[in-house]
Amino acid sequence: MQRISVIGLGYIGLPTAAMFASHGVKVTGVEINEDICNTINNGGIHIQEPFLADIVRKQVSRGMIKCVTEVKPSEAFLIAVPTPIKQDKTADLSYVVSAGQAVAKVLKPGDLVILESTVPPRCTLDVLLPILEKSRLKAGKDFSLAHCPERVLPGNIIHELKYNDRVIGGINPESAEKSRDLYAAFVKGEMYLTDTITAELCKLMENTYRDVNIALANELARISERLGTNAWDVIKYANKHPRVNIHQPGPGVGGHCLAVDPWFVATAAPDLASIIQLARNTNDFMPSYVAKRVEVLVGPGSKVVVLGCTYKPDVDDLRGSPILDLIKLLGDDYNVTVVDPFVESYNVDVYKAAKKADLIVLGVHHDKFKKINLSKLAEIMNSPVLLDTRNFFSRDKVEQAGFEYHLLGSAKRVKVRAWDTKRKVAASVEKDVRNVLKC
């Protein structure tokens, strides 16, 4: 194929367009956002992704990528538009619908349509196919249709687009084969051909597996606190078993994939997806659980410094961050200061922020936090107490620096200066956190 259209030039569409273009396939990029379109046509990019800027600049200047705001006739259409989640936890398919409608207007016999967006099971067959058939062409006979989900990791997209294995679900074998032949322009990983529902569920279940496994770790964290042990040790030793891989607990699950995709499965068969929904709710409860620990440690009215607020470490992405939920929960009851070197509005001096603070909560394990001088921090705080939700700091180092160290998921040495609700002070009475945490 000499020319293709990529619809939606975001985190997935633009790198995909860049890969095709740099491997000899001319790309018409379709992007409804005019500003993005202009940026790309001027050789620039609007997202942060290593190596992408150079490839796009070069391919635009060679005439291999051109961006337009409306779908034009082409031989192949790759749809990579957003599929956000709605309030009721179902998928918002409006972008897929409008992209499909635009393609249907220009579709001609022999064309190939590939849906790359992450979608609920049966979406390709039940939503996109009927829209495309409004062209009066018959899917599988006059045109080919496939779902090929994307599994790349932001920050490593260019490498993973080339070397990751792909699952390609066609509405018939010919659709899957045509899609494989197209991706073969640059993909070096294995390409597995299957049907559309398998491909849809495969993508969703990859993230669901991880979300459920994290929920299991979070449940273990709470069980460990009640039973008086350390979940991180339990996980470390359990994972020495050759067939066990328990994930890590934490203050919750965020981002636009892990916290979203399981709902696409759960809402497709709510009565059957009990584990998936339970896992989602377990992970969503973690910010409340951490807030409860904060209350037990220092109590309302205290000054709390939260380290990190992105949804994962070493990125600037705030989407669905459980730490933002935690900050909201602490709300007006606490004097909260957030320090995050990746987020402009929170990129503040940690030592200034911690002045006279009662508690530090490590929310996100950004590598940069390793450079914090803990002794200096302990000196300027009102009461040097640290709650680590990620097992990021070494207990010994933190304690040597003068802190009282608390670890989410660990009841070892967790005698706390419990909050005395009657006297409204953090009393020095030693209380076992197991008896305090009833949630």
Q: Which residues are catalytic?
A: 203, 257
Residue 375 within binding range of ligand NAD, rule CB under 6 A: no
**Nearest-angstrom CA–CA distance, 110 and 439:** 60
Residue 41 found at the interface with ligand NAD (CB under 6 A): no
36: contact with ligand NAD by CB under 6 A: yes
Interface with ligand NAD includes 93 (CB under 6 A)? no
Name the residue whose CB lies closest to ligand NAD. Answer: 10
Q: How far apart are CA 31 and CA 66, in angstroms?
A: 10
Strands (E), 264-374: 303-307, 335-339, 359-362
Q: How far is the CB of 199 from ligand NAD (least distance, A)?
A: 13
Instruction: Output the furthest CA–CA distance in the chain (Å, rounded).
Output: 78
Please identify which residue in 20, 77, 95, 183 interacts with ligand NAD, judged by CB under 6 A: 95
Lookup: tokens for 76: 């192949």
Q: How far is the CB of 166 from ligand NAD (least distance, A)?
A: 12
> Does the footprint of ligand NAD cover residue 30 (CB under 6 A)?
yes
12 binds ligand NAD (CB under 6 A): yes
Q: Of the ranges 95-103, 140-148, 354-362, 370-378, which one interacts with ligand NAD (CB under 6 A)?
A: 95-103
Task: Select from 49, 111, 150, 211 the one that contacts ligand NAD (CB under 6 A).
Answer: 150
Measured from the Cβ of residue 395, the count of other Cβ atoms closer than 10 Å reads 18
Q: Which stretch binds ligand NAD (CB under 6 A): 19-27, 29-37, 225-233, 411-419?
A: 29-37
Q: Are the C-beta atoms of 211 and 205 separated by less than 8 Å?
A: no
98 binds ligand NAD per the rule CB under 6 A: yes
The edge-to-edge listing of strands for the beta sheet with 26-30 is 65-68, 26-30, 3-7, 76-79, 112-115, 144-147, 166-170, 191-195
In sequence order, the 6+-apart residues with CB closer than 8 A to the CB of 25 are 1, 2, 3, 4, 64, 182, 185
Question: And the tokens for 391?
Answer: 């097992």
**CB neighbours of 370 closer than 8 A, spacing ≥ 6?**
none
What residues numbered 152-211 form the site for ligand NAD, per CB under 6 A?
152, 154
| 157 in Cβ contact with 11 (< 8 Å) | yes
Rounded to the nearest whole angstrom, what is the least distance from the CB of residue 131 to ligand NAD in the complex?
Answer: 12
Determine which helix (DSSP H) or strand (DSSP E) holds 3, and give its type and residue range.
strand 3-7
Q: Which residue from 33, 48, 61, 281 is in contact with ligand NAD, where contact means CB under 6 A? A: 33
Which position among 83, 135, 208, 283 is part of the footprint of ligand NAD (CB under 6 A)? 83
Contact between 15 and ligand NAD by CB under 6 A: the answer reads no
Q: For the CB of residue 97, give the shortest distance to ligand NAD in the complex, in Å.
A: 9
Q: Where do contacts with ligand NAD occur on this chain (CB under 6 A)? A: 7-13, 30-33, 36, 80-83, 95, 98-99, 117-118, 150, 152, 154
